């Protein structure tokens, strides 16, 4: 009963702290809106290619000319435009000066393609097209030798789209608002460490710690009650952030919101245990606050809260994997976009394991103290 009363007291006190509530709820929502809107283009997975301009010079009178004219006609349907070069035009120089995406020379020695290295996507398209054309022409040459009446079938099944992309998980990629909804929610959950640091420290500062010890309440009940109250109030804040982002910002939280919330609860427990543990390990409240602020900001930065860190390697990969936001965000993203429910286990295991370690340190320190 004492534990419930102490937890209730913490919840009521936190609800009266209006500025902290506004910070815990409004701050992540504002960041979601600002970053999700400003960086929306960086989360687009498609690349638009409008027109591809190709210069060509044909110095042969062989049968390839007929097929090449057909090839040009069909390619124009896909926005790939060919222009014949005059004798005065240096095609290679034109490509080098970025006037064209490619230059083609057709001679008795074959087809030579020169690409503009600045336009890698257009270059890849042209390279694939001409490879296909040469392959078809070679097939046609062989067909003429054995079955001339079947030659038309070689060029009948042409395609207007030279690049087709198939996704293993279509439409299962987070947009900017979806990404920052997750990132800001996990970041604000980590901020719980700063408020948890004052759970015990505030009693010492207000000189109420001795009165609590003198009351018929055990240290363990005070300790558990404060942690329980902090978990409840922060869980409510996180739930409100998720609800607002889902309803008003249209963020995607998937079909397993219950499991996602459980993962976030373990992160809240992790943050609270870090905050309390640091308060016992440091000599002053100011030192604890500085350390926790530095920890939260570094964890947020390397955990991808402010911008997405894609495919890190070397020392950067090692540092990002140390951030609790990395393993929590990864787990939540897999749950939402890959329906991988097992991804929650490593994240929850790390959060709970580290929480037990810091709570154990806090309990040992509490037992050695005469007061709180």
Q: Is 100 helix (H, G, I), strand (E, B) or coil?
A: coil
**CATH number of residue 125's parent domain:** 3.40.190
Residues 207 and 62 in one domain: no
Tokens describing residue 343: 């991804």
Residue range(s) defining the domain that contains residue 220: 2-44+173-368
Cβ–Cβ under 8 Å, residues 311 and 301: no
What is the reported pLDDT for 178?
93
Q: Which residues pair with 115 in a beta bridge?
A: 102
- The number of distinct structural domains making up the chain is 2
What is the reported pLDDT for 150?
53
Cβ–Cβ under 8 Å, residues 9 and 217: no
Residues 39 and 59 in one domain: no
On whether residue 168 sits in a domain, the answer given is no
On whether residue 217 sits in a domain, the answer given is yes
Q: Which residues pair with 83 in a beta bridge?
A: 55
Residues 36 and 56 in one domain: no
On whether residue 165 sits in a domain, the answer given is no
On whether residue 160 sits in a domain, the answer given is no
**Of the residues 121, 154, 187, which one is the last residue of a structural domain?**
154
Residues 219 and 311 in one domain: yes
What is the reported pLDDT for 201?
77
On whether residue 283 sits in a domain, the answer given is yes
On whether residue 341 sits in a domain, the answer given is yes
**What span, in angstroms and rounded, lies between the C-alpha atoms of 166 and 287?**
53
Cβ–Cβ under 8 Å, residues 195 and 226: no
**What span, in angstroms and rounded, lies between the C-alpha atoms of 299 and 303?**
6
- Under DSSP, the state recorded for 115 is E
Cβ–Cβ under 8 Å, residues 347 and 329: no
On whether residue 164 sits in a domain, the answer given is no
Tokens describing residue 313: 């390697």
Residues 270 and 203 in one domain: yes
Residues 247 and 321 in one domain: yes
CB count within 10 Å of CB 40 equals 14
Cβ–Cβ under 8 Å, residues 11 and 233: yes
Residues 15 and 85 in one domain: no
Residues 196 and 135 in one domain: no
On whether residue 167 sits in a domain, the answer given is no
Q: Is 333 exposed, middle or buried (0-12, 13-18, 19+ CB in 10 A)?
A: buried
E strand or H helix that includes residue 321: helix 314-322
pTM here is: 0.68
What is the reported pLDDT for 336?
94
For the chain, 372 residues long, give each residue's pLDDT as a single digit of tens.
Answer: 788 988 998 899 888 888 888 889 999 999 999 998 888 766 765 555 667 888 888 887 766 777 778 788 888 877 888 888 887 888 888 888 888 888 888 887 778 888 877 666 777 778 777 787 777 767 666 655 655 555 455 555 444 444 444 444 444 678 899 999 999 999 999 999 998 888 877 777 777 777 777 777 888 888 899 999 999 999 999 999 999 999 999 999 999 999 999 999 999 999 999 999 998 888 788 888 899 999 999 999 999 999 888 888 889 999 999 999 999 999 999 999 989 999 999 999 999 999 999 999 999 988 887 666
Residue with tokens 């030279």: 162
Residues 56 and 39 in one domain: no
CA 53, 56, 61: angle at the middle one, nearest 5?
150
**Of the residues 125, 154, 183, which one is the last residue of a structural domain?**
154
Residues 189 and 338 in one domain: yes
Residues 289 and 361 in one domain: yes
Residues 6 and 98 in one domain: no
């Amino acid at each position: 009963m004492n534990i419930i009363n102490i937890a209730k007291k913490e919840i009521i006190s936190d609800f009266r702290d209006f500025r902290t509530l506004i910070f815990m709820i409004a701050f992540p929502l504002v960041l979601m809106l600002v970053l999700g809107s400003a960086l929306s283009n960086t989360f687009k997975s498609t690349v638009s290619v409008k027109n591809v301009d190709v210069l060509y010079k044909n110095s042969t009178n062989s049968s390839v000319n007929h097929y090449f004219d057909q090839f040009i006609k069909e390619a124009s349907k896909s926005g790939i435009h060919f222009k014949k070069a005059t004798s005065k035009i240096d095609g290679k120089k034109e490509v080098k000066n970025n006037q064209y995406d490619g230059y083609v020379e057709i001679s008795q020695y074959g087809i030579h393609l020169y690409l503009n290295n600045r336009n890698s996507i257009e270059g890849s398209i042209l390279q694939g097209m001409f490879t296909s054309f040469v392959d078809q022409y070679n097939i046609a040459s062989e067909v003429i030798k054995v079955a001339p009446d079947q030659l038309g079938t070689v060029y009948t099944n042409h395609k207007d789209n030279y690049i087709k992309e198939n996704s293993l998980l279509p439409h299962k990629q987070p947009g900017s608002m979806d990404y920052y909804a997750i990132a800001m929610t996990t970041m604000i959950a980590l901020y719980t460490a700063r408020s948890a640091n004052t759970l015990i420290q505030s009693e010492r500062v207000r000189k109420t710690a001795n009165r609590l010890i003198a009351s018929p309440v055990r240290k363990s009940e005070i300790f558990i009650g404060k942690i329980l109250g902090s978990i409840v109030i922060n869980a409510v804040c996180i739930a409100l952030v998720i609800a607002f982002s889902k309803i008003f910002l249209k963020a995607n939280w998937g079909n397993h919101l219950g499991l996602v919330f459980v993962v976030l609860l373990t992160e809240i427990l992790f943050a609270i245990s870090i905050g309390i543990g640091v308060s016992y390990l440091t000599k002053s409240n100011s030192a604890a606050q500085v350390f926790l602020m530095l920890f939260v900001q570094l964890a947020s930065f390397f955990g991808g809260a402010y911008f997405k860190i894609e495919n890190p390697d070397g020392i950067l990969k090692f540092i990002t994997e140390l951030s609790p936001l990395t393993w929590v965000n990864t787990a939540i993203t897999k749950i939402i976009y890959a329906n991988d429910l097992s991804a929650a286990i490593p994240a929850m295991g790390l959060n709970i394991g580290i929480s037990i370690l810091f709570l154990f340190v806090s309990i040992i320190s509490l037992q050695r103290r005469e007061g709180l």
